[in-house]
Amino acid sequence: MRTISGVIAGLTLTMSVYGQAFIHQKLGENFTSVGTGILTESGLPFWSAVASGSNLDIFRITGNDNFTASILGSNRLAYPVAYHATAGLLWEGQGSALSGNTDVFVETTNVSASVLGSNRIAFGFGFTSAGQPVWYGAGSATSNNLDIFRGGANLTASVLGSGSRDAVPMALMNDRLLWDGSGPNTGVNRDVFRTDLSSSTTSNISQSPLGSNRFAVAAALNTNGDAVWYGSGSATGDYSDVFFNSTNVSFPVIGGGNINNPRDAVAFDVSGNNLIWQGRSATTSQFFDSFVTTIGGGTVNLSQSPLGTGRDSQPIDVEGASVLWNGFGDSVGNFDVFVTRPGTTRNLSQQRFGGGNTPGVREGYGVGVFASGNAFWLGAHSTTNSKSHLFHYNWNANSSTNLVQESVNRDADAVYIAHNSAEQVLWAVPTGSGSFEVYLSTPNIATTLQGTVAIAGFAGNTNQIALTIRQYDPYTGNVAATHTGNMNSGFTYSIAVTPGLYDGLRITAPRCLARNIPGLRRLLGATTLDFSLTLGDVNGDNIIDDADLLEVLFNFGNSSSAPVDLNGDGIVDDADLLIVLFNFGAQGD
């Protein structure tokens, strides 16, 4: 499905209770409306929202920090699009400072103005692996034709020809770009193209399979660079079919077509060799069905049997062998959301809300699915006071968790913003006063912080050292969670911590100065963090001074395992005294 904008978010922590399925962190509040957002694979959120007047601004991760106002001026609209670990944030925006133009930015750098000239409109799309922005736009410098660019390089003008043309990107995967466009070089046709951004070579995928009178639309790429698209032409009898590269996958399934019983198929997404599509023909009694085709295997009609007659359905997402789709029909009586895995289809909204096939008692809409069969979905029912709540479905448990009730425990229409492959989700919910709060929800799974600790001068067994780890909430700056555990022998550690996104950690241990580890980082599963600690703080006041020196001198010669035995060898002696003297005056974070 075609999109022209991406999105971003920010943060705050609502502490979880033991047994909750997710850790819910409030990222921002007091927004009058919420737009789109992105959630990176490393768990960094960005979003657009209105906080003052009617300006739609981008808010970055650590609270209600307006990133775009100073760049765009007044009358602003801004949307986050993509993030690259080195390049930063790709976004698009308009405002008084741009004199009526819409531009694409990487962080604070306007990448489209000098390329497009005046009277321009530009949209962000993504990044190459090296951090070059991929975007599209039109302006006086392109004779108002819509072209796709990598940085400042026009990728489509030479392919489509000089004259009236337009090109729109649809998928970017492993430096391969899938797009569709038309121009003098395609005649009256619209074609699908695949461009290798490493070699800057482009191939026309749709011309040969469709013949003449072509109209083709790009859909998706898999990690191998295989293209999924749909289109019509003389070779398909001018009916729309779905293709995997040059292979027509829909015609053998729904076939035929005449003026009274046409066929129509639209591609949606691909994962590996599994692609999802929607189609209708005489074979489906002209009902729109959802299909999954396995290249090298076969095609399954997902919706015909579960929905029965009077049906309509739409595929939403595919990951591995898991397909998420929506549909209604006489057999369910409601608009429901389904997950299908090989041999099994489950109605998530019926399973959660009940009601059988009694018409009009529930609604379910899919958001995203994972290879495991887990999924996010939105649903409304009398138990949610007819409000649309956000749910996480667990395939193995065959149950859904209501994230709205678990986090804020009120009936309100949730706004889905974004999710990532770690099953984190960025979303918003209105308050009683009508403003919006933004949340990041992270699966509450076993999570450890682990690694090595360098402690110069320590000679004892490190399993006698207890580390205390404080995790700081990125929105409020307060301590969100505190965990303590002993180190292992051999200067390693592994301590259970609370999952989520945190802006800095504070590490303390007896004998040592406190250490702050700055920076935003997600803790989820096993996270490795190596650091060093400084010995010499006997009395725990976070400075090595006369008081520590006196403690060592007062206990000199005594056997001890207390902090005064700084090097941990069981006796207070010259070695401990030298540690204090060597680090004298040092202060912890």
Q: Cβ neighbours of residue 298 under 8 Å, at least 6 residues apart?
A: none
In a domain, 246, yes or no: no
d(CA 263, CA 248): 13
In a domain, 457, yes or no: yes
In a domain, 348, yes or no: no
Q: Cβ neighbours of residue 84 under 8 Å, at least 6 residues apart?
A: 90, 127, 131
When the pLDDT of each residue in the chain is averaged and rounded to a whole number, the result is 93
Query: Is residue 253 a contact partner of residue 299, using CB atoms and an 8 Å limit?
Result: yes
pTM of this structure:
0.92
Amino acid sitting at position 282:
A
Percentage of the residues of the chain whose pLDDT score is greater than 70: 96
Query: Is residue 64 a contact partner of residue 436, using CB atoms and an 8 Å limit?
Result: no
Q: What are the respective helix, strand and coil percentages of the chain, to the nearest 5?
A: 15, 45, 40
We report the CATH number of the domain holding residue 529 as 2.60.40.4130
Per-residue pLDDT of the chain (589 residues; tens, 9 = 90+): 223 222 222 333 344 445 799 999 999 999 999 999 999 999 999 999 999 889 999 998 766 578 899 999 999 999 999 999 999 999 999 999 999 999 999 999 999 999 999 999 999 999 999 999 999 999 999 999 999 999 999 999 999 999 999 999 999 999 999 999 999 999 999 999 999 999 999 999 999 999 999 999 999 999 999 999 999 999 999 999 999 999 999 999 999 888 888 999 999 999 999 999 999 999 999 999 999 999 999 999 999 999 999 999 999 999 999 999 999 999 999 999 999 999 999 999 999 999 999 999 999 999 999 999 999 999 999 999 999 999 999 999 999 999 999 999 989 999 999 999 999 999 999 998 889 999 999 999 999 999 999 999 999 999 989 999 999 999 989 999 999 999 998 999 999 999 999 999 999 999 999 999 999 999 999 999 999 999 999 999 999 999 999 999 999 888 877 889 999 989 999 998 999 999 999 999 9
In a domain, 191, yes or no: no
Query: Is residue 8 a contact partner of residue 417, using CB atoms and an 8 Å limit?
Result: no
Q: Using CA atoms of 50, 51, 54, 59 in order, give the dihedral in degrees to the nearest 10.
A: -50
Whether the CA torsion 307, 312, 317, 319 is positive or negative: it is: positive
Specify the length of the chain in residues. Answer: 589
Per-residue tokens: 100? 């009526």
With both helix axes pointing from N to C terminus, report the angle between 574-582 and 546-554 in degrees, rounded to the nearest 10. Answer: 180
* Structural domain that includes position 556: 448-582
- Measured CA to CA in angstroms, residue 60 lies from 34, 74, 78, 82, 119 at distances of 14, 19, 12, 13, 29
Amino acid sitting at position 289:
D
d(CA 442, CA 424): 5
d(CA 8, CA 178): 24
Would you give the end-to-end CA distance of the chain in angstroms? 50
Which 8-state DSSP code applies to residue 281? S
Number of domains the chain is built from: 1
In a domain, 123, yes or no: no
Angle ∠(361,365,368) on CA atoms, nearest 5: 150
In a domain, 497, yes or no: yes
DSSP annotation string for 364-396 = EEEEEE-TTS-EEEEEEEGGGTT--EEEEEETT
pLDDT tens-place string over residues 119-148? 999 999 999 999 999 999 999 999 999 999
pLDDT for 176: 98
In a domain, 504, yes or no: yes
Per-residue tokens: 486? 């002993």
In a domain, 276, yes or no: no
